[in-house]
Amino acid sequence: MDADEAEWGSLTDRLADEAGAAGDTDAYERLAATGDPEDLADVLTAPGRPLWARELAAFRLGLGGDRRAFEALVLLLNHRDAERCVSAAYALVRLGDPRTARAAAALATNELRVAYALAPVRLLAALRAPEAVPALITALGRRLAPGDPHWRVGVACAEGLGALADPRARPVLEAAAPHPRIGAAARAALGNLPV
C-alpha cells in the first residue's frame, strides 16, 4: 500500500462515518466514486454542502493537481480538527500550488490561531520553500515565552528547522535549547546545522 492509498483509506473511513451519522451515506458513496473533476469542483462552490463533502472533494482534487482545491484545502489546514489538518496538508503537498508555502507561513505565524498551527508548521518543513525558515524561526521564538501552552508547536518548529538545516536558525535554536519541553528537539536540530 502506498502513501496515497493509506491516506485515502484513513480519510474515507472518517468521512464515511461523518456522512453516515448525518444520513448522507448515498451522497457520500456517489461523491467518493465519481471520476469527474467538475462534480468535485461543484461541491466546493455549491451553498449548503456539508463539511465532509467539501473535504472529500478538495482532497481528491488536490491529489489530482487541480488548483481549484487550493482555498478549501488551506481552510482545512487550519481547522480545529487535527485529522482534517493532516489530510489537507497531505493534499496540499501533492497539489503543488505555488501559493501553498505563503499560506502555510501565514497560518504558522498567526498568533490568533496558534492552537491550530501544528499542521501548517509541519507543512512548511515538508515544502522546503523559501518562506519556511523565516516563518519557523518566528513561530519558534514566540513559543519560548514563559508559560506558553503551545510547546508542541515549538517542538514541530525545531524539528522542521533541523530538517531544513539552515544556519539562520542557530540563534533561535540556541535560545530554545534550555526549554524544558522544546529543548531536546532544539538540541537535535542544532546538531543538523552546518558548522
Residue 116 has what pLDDT? 95
Work out the mean pLDDT of the chain and round it to a whole number.
Answer: 95
Residue 7 has what pLDDT? 85
Average of pLDDT values for 107-116? 96
Average of pLDDT values for 149-175? 98
What sign does the CA torsion over 124, 125, 131, 137 have? positive
pLDDT tier at 174, thresholds 50, 70, 90 = very high
Among 79, 38, 75, 74, which residue's Cα sits nearest to residue 57?
38
Which pTM value belongs to this model? 0.91
pLDDT tier at 8, thresholds 50, 70, 90 = confident
pLDDT tier at 6, thresholds 50, 70, 90 = confident
Dist CA 186 CA 133 (whole Å)? 14
Q: What percent of the chain has pLDDT over 70?
A: 98
Sequence-separated (6 or more) residues with CB below 8 Å from residue 20: 28
Residues 33-81 pLDDT 10s = 998 999 999 999 999 999 999 999 999 999 999 999 999 999 999 999 9
- 33 or 1: which carries more pLDDT confidence? 33
Residue 18 has what pLDDT? 94
Please give the single-letter amino acid code of residue 93: V
Angstrom distances, CA of residue 38 to CA of 2, 43, 73, 143, 179:
26, 9, 17, 43, 50
Average of pLDDT values for 132-157? 97
DSSP 124: H
Residue 5 has what pLDDT? 79
pLDDT at 1 over 70: no
Q: What percent of the chain has pLDDT over 90?
A: 93
